[in-house]
Amino acid sequence: MPSYKYSVYNSAKRGNRGGGGQRRSNKKHGEYIDPARFVQVAKGATVEEYVPTHKFADFDIDPRLQANLASKGYETPSPIQDQTIPAALEGRDMIGIANTGTGKTAAFGIPVLNALMTRQQSKALIVAPTRELAQQIEEEMRSLGKGGGFTGAVLIGGTSMGPQLRDLRAKPRLVIGTPGRIKDHIERRTIDLTQFNLVVLDEVDRMLDMGFVNDVTSILQELDKNRQSFFFSATMDPRVQGLIRTFSNDPETVSVKTGDSSDNVHQDVIPYGGTHEKMDKLHDLLLQEDVAKVIVFDETQRSVEKLSNELVARGFAADAIHGGKSQGQRQRALESFKKNRTKILVATDVAARGIDVADISHVINFSEPQSYQDYVHRIGRAGRAGKIGYALTFVNK
């Protein structure tokens, strides 16, 4: 295990425990987080071997779906798929506790697509907290549902209404979207959800964190009363449980124990004095060889844009994603990052949610997160798929 050169664990601890217990805010707003919580040695990248009890061929699903699975190279179901698909094919309501990277999209996608392919009266709505996640789901559903004999629509904000209205006129049986835009279409009466008898809420916890509880509730109330529901969430706090209890019918719960994903992440702080020192330290860090693929978090759209421009001016292959960019710009930035054309993605918390990029080596918190929960979400982007990742947080000396 490489020792990390920025290790200041003890000083960070002393600095905050020995100061007479005064709770000094370490940022302008948000929760105070003891910097000692940003320091942790990775426990190791062990992933327990899971032995699936099914093969895809065992599932009684449409042959077109089987063929699409094969052409995507999916051979064995992931644990969440192995456990969700059989009960979901029986029509049960499902609760999946799983985060991105577990194969959760196909876990709900396969039973939903099977219903769409085999029953003409099936209509499905998939709700996701962010545009990026909605589009990732759409990509997966498009490839798994190829030749399935139904049309779809993606209803997300930040894109013009024209194409969405055109897609909706074709009476799509699969609709994927974000809560705000779906609600918008309901209010404009450009979509009628009363016949939708399958619903998926993905990343329920994030949707509630982002303040979508009212939108989500009113969307669920529009749907066919006699429906099958899927709720996926990385965490199961009381709010999530409350929402699920209200809107589900005798659900079956499947939980994928991936452990705390931060177990695979070396966490450390980078102390800095002033703005110049902060930028110089970031520059030095990004030059290190092992810093292969990085998300740099900063606080606001403006600071993200500024930092990304500064890095580009310094010769780094960097790009930015934040809510102030158009959907197309965000898509392109994400694509280049995925394909390793840019090595550094500067992002706000909101824009980075749901990003599914497997091989991120470093998460750098150029500004501290608003809450410890945000911190855990940020650093969970590194250390995926059994690899060790690094999370480095800048803290003001």
Binding site for ligand AMP (CB under 6 A): 74, 77-78, 81, 100-106, 356
Q: Which is nearer to ligand AMP, 4 or 74 (CB)?
A: 74
Distance CA 206, CA 147 (A): 32
Would strands 124-127 and 198-201 be described as parallel, antiparallel, or unpaired?
Answer: parallel
CB of 222 to ligand AMP, least distance (A): 26
Distance of CA 362 to the CA centre of its chain: 17
Q: Which is nearer to ligand AMP, 78 or 367 (CB)?
A: 78
CB of 84 to ligand AMP, least distance (A): 11
Q: What is the DSSP letter of 260?
A: -
CB of 55 to ligand AMP, least distance (A): 10
Classify the C-alpha dihedral 320-36-258-201 as positive or negative. Answer: negative
Q: Which is nearer to ligand AMP, 252 or 356 (CB)?
A: 356
Q: Which is nearer to ligand AMP, 222 or 356 (CB)?
A: 356
CB of 114 to ligand AMP, least distance (A): 15
What does the DSSP assignment read for 277-326?
HHHHHHHHHHHSTT--SEEEE-SSHHHHHHHHHHHHHTT--EEEE-TTS-
Q: At what angle are helices 179-187 and 213-222 packed, to 10 degrees?
A: 50
Q: Which is nearer to ligand AMP, 124 or 364 (CB)?
A: 124
Q: What is the DSSP letter of 53?
A: S
Residues paired with 393 in a beta bridge: 269, 365
CB of 121 to ligand AMP, least distance (A): 27
CB of 332 to ligand AMP, least distance (A): 19
CB of 237 to ligand AMP, least distance (A): 21
CB of 220 to ligand AMP, least distance (A): 22
The CA-atom distances, in angstroms, between 276 and each of 272, 280, 283, 291, 310 are 9, 6, 10, 21, 12
**Helix, strand, coil % in the chain, rounded to nearest 5:** 40, 15, 45
What does the DSSP assignment read for 372-389?
HHHHHHHHTTSS-TT--E
Q: What are phi and psi of 321, to 5 degrees?
A: -130, 130
Q: Which is nearer to ligand AMP, 92 or 104 (CB)?
A: 104
Q: Which is nearer to ligand AMP, 105 or 178 (CB)?
A: 105
Q: Which is nearer to ligand AMP, 12 or 127 (CB)?
A: 127
